[in-house]
Structure 1
Amino acid sequence: MSEPITVVVVDDHAMFRRGVRAELDSAGAGVVDVRAEAADVDEAVRAVAEHRPDVVLLDVHLPGGGGAEVMRRSAGTETRFLALSVSDAAEDVIGTIRGGARGYVTKTITGPELVAAIRRVSEGDAVFSPRLAGFVLDAFAGSIDVAAVDEDLDRLTEREREVMRLIARGYAYKEVAKELFISIKTVETHMSSVLRKLQLSSRHELTRWASDRRLL
């Protein structure tokens, strides 16, 4: 048998990291070897340098600069990066691939599917969830104006982007608070800031704004 594929799991939620590790230990027994976990950019960069994993499962939004910063600071290694994120927004997918990731899958993926994706990325293939592959093709075809999308989104902080996407998808403030582990008051504060920065007046305008930019 070939050697197991070594993996580092990077995500700022400990419960999610433990869940991924358990899934890989179960579905990927003998195929995947999780060497370490990391919760932010600095921890991830140290883990890559120490363990030299074949593949890093990388969340897009991380404290310290995001997944793109991990890849930038790990340039020159032979490690390959597979984004594993709750976000399926076009600008996250495209930005992460531009940053150096070999693939992008969402957190709805099953354990066996994730093991298969890790194996393919370790072999040099590019792997995307079906809907996300379309974003990449559209970007290269020029039908998504990535520069314009990024310019608008640059006005928002990372947390504001997360709140914006959930609100635009129809989540209630209470549901957003539960999803992001923050208070309802904090959600309201972020939402007010989003509307002000984007010069919008309601969540209905925000939904239309996000839909026009394929952020939903």
Structure 2
Amino acid sequence: MAGPVRVFLVDDHAMFRTGVRTELAELADDRLVVVGEAGSVGEAVARLAVDPPDVVLLDVHMPDGGGRAVLEHLHERLPALVFLALSVSDAAEDVIAVIRAGARGYVTKTISGRELADAIVRVAGGDAVFSPRLAGFVLDAFSDRHGPAAVADPELDLLSPREREVLKLLARGYAYKEIAAQLFISVKTVETHVSSVLRKTQMSNRYELSRWATDRRLV
């Protein structure tokens, strides 16, 4: 690619955008330049449609629909536009959803500035980039699509989608406060979901739940 990679930031936290912009400017070694930013889905769609960059660094969770909504608005209209998801979430559902919607890669916000700059340059060059272990989610989702149907699990079917999300994070060892941050809910709501899961599965503590989730390959 001739010249630096032109990058556009989409994140609803202004301070985070400022931090990313500053760090990329310091570490990119003239390989990329941030040319714009937006704090909402509507603003991002409007600005990107007028002046598309090379790579959009895209937050997954925002109040007005998040990264998937941006992708759904623009991916078909601007097929050459490359999207790299950047999120606090490492949940398989989030990774798979944005990749299916058209993102070229997915990295978490624990990534270092230099690693992020490298990831942006790589996706601009045609590579698919993922934070460690997230690639496995994508491989699992896109391989063997027509394999045997999953065996029904009546106990698992009792859980709501949100309860499953909470259970997966719990089984990975996340504390309630960390689960709340990942899912953008309150600690009290996490406690309510865990109580409901314990009741539905007839388990007595989080350690039994973790084994239960592992046995069902939820982790």
Unaligned 5+ runs, structure 1? none
Partner of 1:169: 172
1:212 Cα deviation from its structure 2 partner: 5.5
| TM-score (ref. length: structure 1) | 0.75
- Matched position secondary structure for 1:105: strand
- Matched position secondary structure for 2:86: strand
Partner of 2:12: 12
Q: Of the candidates 79, 82, 85, which is equivalent to residue 81 of structure 2?
A: 79
Between 108-117 and 174-183, report the one with greater CA deviation. Answer: 174-183
Between 204-213 and 92-101, report the one with greater CA deviation. Answer: 204-213
Unaligned 5+ runs, structure 2? 151-155
Q: Which amino acid aligns with 2:17?
A: R
Q: Which amino acid aligns with 1:39?
A: G
Partner of 1:96: 98
Q: Percent identity?
A: 61
1:74 Cα deviation from its structure 2 partner: 0.8
1:172 Cα deviation from its structure 2 partner: 3.5
Between 85-94 and 172-181, report the one with greater CA deviation. Answer: 172-181
- Matched position secondary structure for 2:133: helix
- The whole-number CA distance in structure 1 between the counterparts of 2:50 and 2:165 is 31
- 1:12-69 superposed Cα distances (whole Å, 9 cap, x missing partner): 3333222211211111142222122223322221231233111111122222223111
Q: Does 2:118 correspond to 1:116?
A: yes
Say if 2:104 and 2:123, in contact at 8 Å, map to a contact too.
yes
Q: Which of 1 and 2 has greater Rg? A: 2
Say if 2:87 and 2:107, in contact at 8 Å, map to a contact too.
yes
- 1:105-128 superposed Cα distances (whole Å, 9 cap, x missing partner): 222222122111111211222122
- The whole-number CA distance in structure 2 between the counterparts of 1:14 and 1:165 is 30
Say if 1:6 and 1:55, in contact at 8 Å, map to a contact too.
yes
Give the 3 Å change call, closer, same or farther, for CA 119–63 of structure 1 in structure 2.
Answer: same
Give the 3 Å change call, closer, same or farther, for CA 22–163 of structure 1 in structure 2.
Answer: farther
- The whole-number CA distance in structure 2 between the counterparts of 1:192 and 1:206 is 11
- The whole-number CA distance in structure 1 between the counterparts of 2:40 and 2:216 is 28
Partner of 1:36: 36
- The whole-number CA distance in structure 2 between the counterparts of 1:208 and 1:40 is 39
Partner of 1:132: 134
- The whole-number CA distance in structure 1 between the counterparts of 2:82 and 2:42 is 18
| TM-score (ref. length: structure 2) | 0.74
- The whole-number CA distance in structure 2 between the counterparts of 1:135 and 1:93 is 7
Between 9-18 and 77-86, report the one with greater CA deviation. Answer: 9-18
Say if 1:90 and 1:214, in contact at 8 Å, map to a contact too.
no
1:11 Cα deviation from its structure 2 partner: 2.1
Aligned residues: 208
Partner of 2:153: none
Q: Which amino acid aligns with 2:143?
A: A
- The whole-number CA distance in structure 2 between the counterparts of 1:68 and 1:199 is 31
1:70 Cα deviation from its structure 2 partner: 0.7
Partner of 1:69: 69
Say if 2:119 and 2:129, in contact at 8 Å, map to a contact too.
yes
